[in-house]
Structure 1
Amino acid sequence: MDVFHDIRVLDLTGGVAGPLVGMFFADFGADVVKVEGPEGDPARSRAGFATWNRGKRGVVVPADDPARVAWLGRQVAGADVLIVTGGNQLARYGLDRDELLSRHGRLVVVELPPYLPGYTPWSGGAESAALLATLGGQAWRQSSMSGHPVDSVYPTTLYCQGLWATVCTVAALLERESSGCGQRVTVSGVNGLMQLLTSAFTVNPDAPDVSTAVGTGGRHPAYTRFLTGDGRWIASGALGPKFETALLHVLGLSEMLDDERLEGNTRGLVQPENLAWAKKKISDAFLRASADEWVEALQGAGIPCVVVADRSGWLDHPQVRAIGMREVVQDPERGEVVMPGVPIRMTASPGRVRGPAPMLGQHSDTIEDWSGRTGAPARGPVRPGPLHGRRVVITGAFVATPFAGLLLAELGADVIKVEPTGGDPFRDNAYAVNRGLRSLAIDLRSPAGLAAFHQVVAGCDAVVDGLRPGVTTRLGIDRASLLKANPALVVVSMSAYGDIGPMSRLGGVDVVVQGLCGMMRAEGGDGEPAVNTIAVNDNATAAMSALAVTLGLLHRERTGEGQQIHDSLIATATYLQSGELTTFASAPDPTIGRDDFPGPGQFDRLYEVKDRWIRIAPRPQGDTGRRLGAALGIQSSDLVSRPEEALTEAFARMSSDEAMATLRTADVPAVIARKIGEVIRDPRLLEAEFLHVVGASDGRSWIAAPGRYATFSRTARSGPLIPPGVGEHSRAILADAGLAADVVEELVATGLVTDGVPLQRAIATAYR
């Protein structure tokens, strides 16, 4: 049975984020109806529309047509999920969100406001990845040559908002299975930004912003891309002491560890005073051999490494085809459309692309009456998160797996981080993504430790493993082994490249995947490949794994059946380029960047003003140039012959306040570029629980970290999440699992289990 069998969804949104929620629901079997006005979704002209709206049925409902508006009201009465941008969108049709929730007790209303609920700080209030990223600190956090803010060629913030909103919606439906009641779920553009930039927003609020003038390869001298002797580029995944040391050995640079500036270990590589000389020494070494030679040498040493590739061939890559991430759809408007597939592989309830995007109003006269499905009003229980009462075990280190645990904990689940007795080796760098977890530090290589782990799993709902394919089998923690303890277990296996295909046994990390899938080339254009400072693939895969868990649990709740589920960094990387990888005969070319990319057009880019930078975006009506020219006093001839130069000159004469006032008067969407230190002081964001602040263990400093990632009207979790110490909860977890006290004591006494203490709260030097 499909996960969303018999689930009805009304999608009233346009653009990117909202339609992506509907796309996921359609892929996994829901009946999704896309509701548009006569003018249609503004994104219909974009290639990605064909992917973001696939498998849906389409209707047109004019706001001034009483009969069609009445029809929409009846459909809402029978829907399970209603996706909207915000309350204003419902008001167009005479609908009120709170009244709908009161009258239709099982309805889940999902809101995706472009910035904050009820407030968008740019003219027009339309969804904008670029304005959100600029105002929210992402653009100025990007590593660059100049240290100025940099635009991305991808609307990553919107891809993450749509994905995370889907996770939250499925969690609300899962809670509804037991309570019988729906609720309102709000995932704003700011929430999407928080999910994407979790580590970047985890800072000492009293410390200065880190310098971003470190080059397009980023901060880390070993975890980046390198030019090789044959003129090609490779992406190196040498992150963490183990791999950094191995890289220096392969390069013949082990003597660097003897340099007093590194103090005998690789942690000093990312210290500001060491960046220049360490980068030069390592980069020069790579010029001594070809790309193929270095890839063979690094992979031979266990270091993830690939040749940097172009985006255009990604969907034809053998590994992408192997995991089903290339789909071909026959579209009545566009002809043959090649698009990314479904990024989560479920064995018992697989998703699939169920058809093309609908033509405007294609099904307006053929959709049956839904009225009467959602039931009578009900007072649902109040709980600390829609996943309250669920228990999830996670295994795996670094970023993506722990972060998946954090997101599930944010939704109220009890999440147990299982790590080696010495702890996750990346803990020092990963304060942000380990928050909200409980730690069980145990030796799974020993029979006694493995038996204890199986007993813990017997009382859990799901396991997320972030290990290479084959490692779980070798350790005896694969699903086949775990089923003996828990036959209905949901197991999500997160890997770099997927569970099948020619690369499935290889290890991979975010930067390597950026290079392989074409992201680096697309961001850098004709210049050097540009590394995204944000761990986009790790962070989004964490949300993808959280989605896999909630999908698996919902299916189990409805059928009693557990299952094995697979996701991967490359499947997520494909999803994160869904609009850019969708191709058909008349598809527009996707945007290509360059060094310190300011934006794709003269009316859609960053400009420097006297005291800082601003970002302007085009108006949907297409008259941005005329309005700018009139407001800034630019001659029409100059706007035609040298528009970028003329605008640069005009803005350079203005302060940011003057520029913003002028742009507001001209009704041109625009924001001021902000650094992270400014964002975390925004009163509106603080009021919305954008941050939670806790004291560091030194008693003198503070740690600010993302706060409320989503809002639930009835099942909201609240309060700061704190990362655990290594093995801090080992005794309690084992006791909860039913192990006798003397057995637990023996495991601790023999060193098979670490009985730890709370973490010393501190933030390491930024490595990206």
Structure 2
Amino acid sequence: MRNALDGLTVIDFTQIGAGPTCTMLLADMGARVIKVESPAGDIGRTLGPGWVGEDAALFHGFNRNKLGMALDFKKPEGLAIARRLIATADIVVESMRPGVMQRAGLAHSQVAAQHPSLIYCSISAYGQQGPYSQRAGVDGVLQADSGLMSLIGTPDGEPCKVQAPIVDVTTGYLACIGILAKLQQRSRDGRGGHLDVSLLNSALALQQSSITSYFADGEPPVPSGSAAPYSAPNQAFETKDGWLMVAAYSVERWAALCEVLDLRHLEKDPRFATSPLRVANRDAMTRELTVAFMRRTADDWIAPLQAVDILCAKVTGYTDIAAHPQVAANAMLPAVEVPGFGKLRMPGFPINSASVNATGMNPAPQCGQHTQSILRELGCDDEEIASLAKAGAVFSPQEEATVALADAS
């Protein structure tokens, strides 16, 4: 997998979460990804706490294996470089508000005639067309506006969100899937095309079961904590020392659970005869089962439950994940060596993870780290690079260091 996209060049005009997730996946699979930031840097560099040197850990989690270029394409000189970059690309991914790339002259409709094989992916909050297309949005806003937030939490609690940026990450994965499909199509007809990927559509796709159920019976979902709205028992139960997630909603597993918990009378209780009835009478069922689960620790319950094929797991925290034996076997938390910081562990590539992540990862780039080398690849000589830097069209840390030395002398 690490070499699957060797030979492909991706120009990455994205920031924060969704777009960088997409381009990081492409980089993980071997594409050469040039991350283009403004000289001020990706906003994601500022979103702490959780710091790796001066940059937020969040930025490192979304931008490994990329080259970094700092470019201001609002300046004419920078815009000319952006066009030269696009001319080298197989794939462009951008996450500007709809209209920004158009005004710059860099939209798909403006570059496709010259580059008919280019695959161009636009990622936005609401999509490229429609009444909300000009609205900005981030993960939490789209969790709210898509209905996703209405599913999360407890009936009487305040609105909650998934604390991991699930809509951003899902959008990045869907954009990557779209690009891979376009690459397959291009292999047949030689033509690229435009992809319109939005956080709204991704958030709706995450709710496949809930939204379909709503249109089936017209009943809006009610937040139910850890409990699945469509089956029971399928939720976390409190034990003597913590919480245990248990899924035992099939006929066989419900009977086995009643046996293990020494609650055989519940199997015959008409309130709990089927999974839909247990959903309808969830509160009563939960009270009965919790009394039993509270007699032992979560670890004490796992072996007897697994012995009769009941699906279960402790509700673990990140301290547990760091030492999780299966996570280690899957090599899903590789350590990336970050200059000036040391080893930083992060979730790796999730497909064939043990072999892919074992090959090593490159850290996220400094802002503009590879600006000069990329400009030289575009044919710029030292004089032109100096002129671009003087105009404020490009930035690299090397130039900043040179200026600092000059000032010191």
Q: Scaled by the length of structure 2, what TM-score is found?
A: 0.83
Of 536, 548, 551 in structure 1, the residue corresponding to residue 181 of structure 2 is 551
Matched, 1:388 2:29: no
Return closer, same or farther for 1:590/1:676 CA change in 2, 3 Å cut-off: farther
SS state at 2:292 partner: helix
Return closer, same or farther for 1:485/1:445 CA change in 2, 3 Å cut-off: farther
* Deviation readout 1:255-275 (Å, 9 max, x if unpaired): xxxxxxxxxxxxxxxxxxxxx
Aligned to 1:424: 42
1: CA distance, partners of 2:113 / 2:17: 30
Aligned to 1:705: 346
1: CA distance, partners of 2:397 / 2:340: 19
* Partner amino acid, structure 1, of 2:11: V
Return closer, same or farther for 1:713/1:609 CA change in 2, 3 Å cut-off: closer
Q: Scaled by the length of structure 1, what TM-score is found?
A: 0.46
1: CA distance, partners of 2:317 / 2:355: 34
Aligned to 1:646: 288
Aligned to 1:739: 380
Return closer, same or farther for 1:740/1:555 CA change in 2, 3 Å cut-off: farther
Aligned to 1:676: 318
2: CA distance, partners of 1:583 / 1:637: 28
**Deviation, structure 1 residue 647:** 1.1
Matched, 1:541 2:182: no
1: CA distance, partners of 2:372 / 2:169: 30
SS state at 1:691 partner: coil
Conserved? CA contact 2:258–2:264, under 8 Å: yes
Matched, 1:452 2:93: no
SS state at 1:747 partner: helix
Aligned to 1:115: none
2: CA distance, partners of 1:729 / 1:453: 15
* Partner amino acid, structure 1, of 2:30: G
**Deviation, structure 1 residue 548:** 2.1
Return closer, same or farther for 1:633/1:523 CA change in 2, 3 Å cut-off: same
SS state at 2:152 partner: helix
1: CA distance, partners of 2:39 / 2:216: 56
Return closer, same or farther for 1:588/1:619 CA change in 2, 3 Å cut-off: farther
Conserved? CA contact 1:629–1:639, under 8 Å: no
Aligned to 1:606: 236
Aligned to 2:110: 481
Of 190, 201, 212 in structure 2, the residue corresponding to residue 582 of structure 1 is 212
Conserved? CA contact 2:331–2:354, under 8 Å: no
2: CA distance, partners of 1:687 / 1:624: 29
Conserved? CA contact 1:439–1:730, under 8 Å: yes
Return closer, same or farther for 1:588/1:644 CA change in 2, 3 Å cut-off: farther
Aligned to 2:100: 471
**Deviation, structure 1 residue 501:** 0.9
* Partner amino acid, structure 2, of 1:536: I
Return closer, same or farther for 1:399/1:535 CA change in 2, 3 Å cut-off: same
Q: Structure 2: where are the runs of 5+ without partners?
A: 48-58, 272-283, 399-409
**Deviation, structure 1 residue 535:** 1.1
SS state at 1:659 partner: helix
**Deviation, structure 1 residue 643:** 2.9
Alignment of 1:491-640 (within 5 A): 491-524=120-153, 526-527=155-156, 528-582=158-212, 592-594=222-224, 596-600=225-229, 602-618=232-248, 620=250, 622-636=251-265, 640=269
Return closer, same or farther for 1:585/1:675 CA change in 2, 3 Å cut-off: closer
* Partner amino acid, structure 1, of 2:288: A
Matched, 1:406 2:48: no
Return closer, same or farther for 1:433/1:715 CA change in 2, 3 Å cut-off: closer
2: CA distance, partners of 1:439 / 1:578: 37
The alignment's C-alpha RMSD in Å is: 2.7
Conserved? CA contact 1:727–1:755, under 8 Å: yes
Q: Structure 1: where are the runs of 5+ without partners?
A: 1-382, 758-768
SS state at 1:703 partner: strand
* Deviation readout 1:519-545 (Å, 9 max, x if unpaired): 111224643322111211111001111
* Deviation readout 1:98-149 (Å, 9 max, x if unpaired): xxxxxxxxxxxxxxxxxxxxxxxxxxxxxxxxxxxxxxxxxxxxxxxxxxxx
Return closer, same or farther for 1:613/1:576 CA change in 2, 3 Å cut-off: same
Conserved? CA contact 1:394–1:417, under 8 Å: yes
**Deviation, structure 1 residue 591:** 5.3
**Deviation, structure 1 residue 714:** 10
**Deviation, structure 1 residue 734:** 1.6
1: CA distance, partners of 2:142 / 2:330: 34
Return closer, same or farther for 1:597/1:631 CA change in 2, 3 Å cut-off: closer
1: CA distance, partners of 2:356 / 2:252: 44
1: CA distance, partners of 2:113 / 2:388: 22
Alignment of 1:313-332 (within 5 A): none
Matched, 1:752 2:366: no
**Deviation, structure 1 residue 628:** 1.7
* Partner amino acid, structure 2, of 1:691: L
SS state at 2:70 partner: strand
SS state at 1:533 partner: coil
Aligned to 1:693: 335
